[in-house]
Every structure is written in C-alpha cells, then in structure tokens.
Structure 1
Amino acid sequence: MRALVVVGLLAVLALVFVVVAMVKDSQSNAGTAEGCPKGWPLADVTLREPKDVKINVYNGTDEVGLAGSVADDFRNRKFQVKKEGNAPKAVDDVAVLRFGPKGVGSAQLLRAYFLNSAKLEPDLKRKDDTVDVILGNSFQQLATTTEVNQSLGDLGSPEAPPGTCPAPVGEK
C-alpha cells in the first residue's frame, strides 16, 4: 500500500513539473510572430527538403560552364533548378546565397551543401522563396550527403534574419 502512495505522489509531481515546464518554456513562442514590429516580413524558418527548394545557379567565376555542371549536380540531388547562368560580377567566396524571407529555411539547407562556408545575403524586399546560388572562386565541389547531414547538425535550426520575424509554423 505504501508503494502505491509513493508512486501516486511521484506521478502527481511529474505532472506538475511537466505543466510548469510547458507554461514557462522560453521556446514556446519560437516560430511565432508575437511581438513582431509592424511591417516586418515573416521569415519562413522551416528547414526544407531538397525537393521543395527552388534555386537559381549563377557562375561568379571565370570557369566556363560551372553554373551548368553545378545546376546538374543540384538537380541530381532533387533540387528545383529554375535558372542558370553567369553572375554580373565575380565572387571570391565559396558561394553567396541570396534569398528573401520566404527562403530562409531553403538557404539554411543550401548552406550545408557548401559546408557552412557560403555567405548569406538576405534581401528583405524579395517576395519569392527562390534562393540565388552564386558560385565563387573558392568553390570546389558540393558536399556529400554525409557532410551535408553533419553540417546541418552544426548549423542548428534556421533563424530569422535581422529585420524579420519567424513565421508561425505552417505559414509561408
């Protein structure tokens, strides 16, 4: 009988602990637009699957045909390649990722394909969810699946860029 009382008491304490933790959870508002200044765009911070990511691939190097070969590599990895071509100016970085608030989660995934070395350039005025991938002079090759998974673990969850608010889950 005494054991049942102890188990019952432990169950009640566990329930109280869970309720208190849920009420005071500092992350319970993560992913919502609560407290967002008026007029700030909502950033889609959902990490996307490759099949759901739309990209444009541009060559920011002197290497002829680089955008086409990398675009093919992205297609083989199930990305939706919309455009490919040459960038208007050279890029010295590994790559530059340009995206709007709707492309934050997509850019996070793409960054892992460059081993977290791609420079992020959010454009708060951009309305679509397409990410421009500008290949730079330091680019060598896309990461392997294992490297991408490790990079995603290192990066953590996508975060809304400065000047945006995270969109509530399910909104884009």
Structure 2
Amino acid sequence: MSMLTPPGMGGKYRITGDKYPRMRRPRHRRRIVLAAGAAVVVLGAAGWGTLQLVDVFSGGDDTKATAGRSADCKPVTKTTTAPVAALPKPAQITVNVYNATPRSGLAKSTADELKKRGFIIGKVGNAPVAYDKKVPGAGILLGAPGATKGAFTVLGTQLKGATTKTDTRATADVDLIIGTAFKNLDPKTTADAALVALNKPKPAPTGKC
C-alpha cells in the first residue's frame, strides 16, 4: 500500500504512487460558461438593432424633435396678406381749416400748404366759439363718425399729435382746428412717407419654421 492511501481504504480506492492526483474541472463546464456569455452578447446586439429599426420606421420621438427645434424656430413672415381697407386719397378729402389761436394768418397759410399736398380746401377762417382758444394741443380733426375709418387717418399724416373728434354732420368734409401748440404741419417728406406706409400691407408672422 502506498503512503498516499488513507488508512482503511483499499481496493478500488487504493492510491498508488508518491504524488497526489491533479484535480481538474470537467472541460464541458467551461464550454457552457463560454456559450452562455456568447448568447448574452448576441441577444444584446439583437435587441439594440430592433430598437434602432423601430425608431427609424416610427419617425423617432416627435416630441423631442419638436422641443429641440423650438429654440431655433422663428416665425416666418409673409408679405402677402389680406388687402388693406381702401383709404381715400388727399384729392378726395375736403378740409375746412380753422384757427383757434390768437395768432392771425395760421388758417390761411396752413390751408395753402394742404392744398399743395393735394387736399381739397373748403372753408378757412377763425374757429367756432365752442373751440376758439380752447384747443391746447396741436389741433383737432373734427368730422362725421365715418371719417374715423378714412379721412382722419389720411389727414392725420400731415400733423402728428392732432386729436380726433366726431360730430353729427352728414357731410364727408372734415375740419382741422389749429390749437395753441401748433407750429407747422409735418415736413412734406415725412408726411409723404407716412402716406405710403398706410397703403403697404403689413407682413403677418406664421408659426412655420
């Protein structure tokens, strides 16, 4: 019996020789571990590929895409809009010029200048008692309610700061009552530019990018 054989053990359990036997793991276990790892890698790759295909065919996350563009998205303006309501031309507006200040000659000189700018001149003289020396601003545009949608807008380009007021007249003429703060009509170049701006359509912003 060899010295390596434990006492009481013999027969087929008898160990001969002078070295302990080398204990090795069965090779088939290593193969199982490697196969399991490879399966995990393959499944992971397949899952990732599936997600990519789903994202491509579904168009991605529209909410995220919209949120990403919202910061850079600016309204686009269009120059074609609904036509502006037709305004009368200066040659279609009759203006009565009245002087409500103590300074003489203002009504006539102002009327002459308005005539040069294409307006039709009606009455010229001192303001009615209800307004004489009672207009503290640059002037008042006075006319029928319908004048607020046309004549006041056009005549107002000639004198900034003029206020508007309506009365019960049935005619289309309007009054320009010169107030104490009046110095001159606006420069013709400024008034002409304001008239041109009235007839230009304003671009309207849209929500498209």
1:54 equivalent in structure 2: 94
Whole-Å Cα distance in 2 between the matches of residues 110 and 70 of structure 1? Answer: 13
Whole-Å Cα distance in 2 between the matches of residues 93 and 142 of structure 1? Answer: 13
> Following TM superposition, by how much is the alpha carbon of 1:101 offset from its aligned partner in structure 2, in angstroms?
2.8
Contact 1:94 1:138 in 2 (8 A): yes
2:137 equivalent in structure 1: 93
**Sequence identity percentage:** 31
1:147 equivalent in structure 2: 190
Select the residue among 119, 124, 132 that pairs with 1:79. 119
How many residues are aligned here? Answer: 115
Matched, 1:128 2:171: yes
Select the residue among 141, 152, 156 that pairs with 1:107. 152
Q: Deviations over 1:30-71 (max 9, x none)?
A: 99xxxxxxxxxxxxx742211111010000101111101111
What TM-score, normalized to structure 1? 0.58
Contact 1:103 1:128 in 2 (8 A): no
Contact 1:102 1:128 in 2 (8 A): no
Whole-Å Cα distance in 2 between the matches of residues 138 and 147 of structure 1? Answer: 19
Letter in 1 for 2:105: G
C-alpha RMSD over aligned residues: 2.6
Gaps of 5+ in 1: 1-26, 32-44, 158-172
Contact 1:101 1:127 in 2 (8 A): no
**Shift in CA distance, 78/153, structure 1 to aligned 2, threshold 3 Å:** closer
Higher relative contact order (CA 8 A, sep 6+): 1
Gaps of 5+ in 2: 1-80, 201-209
**Shift in CA distance, 155/79, structure 1 to aligned 2, threshold 3 Å:** closer
Whole-Å Cα distance in 2 between the matches of residues 151 and 107 of structure 1? Answer: 13
Whole-Å Cα distance in 1 between the matches of residues 199 and 166 of structure 2? Answer: 18
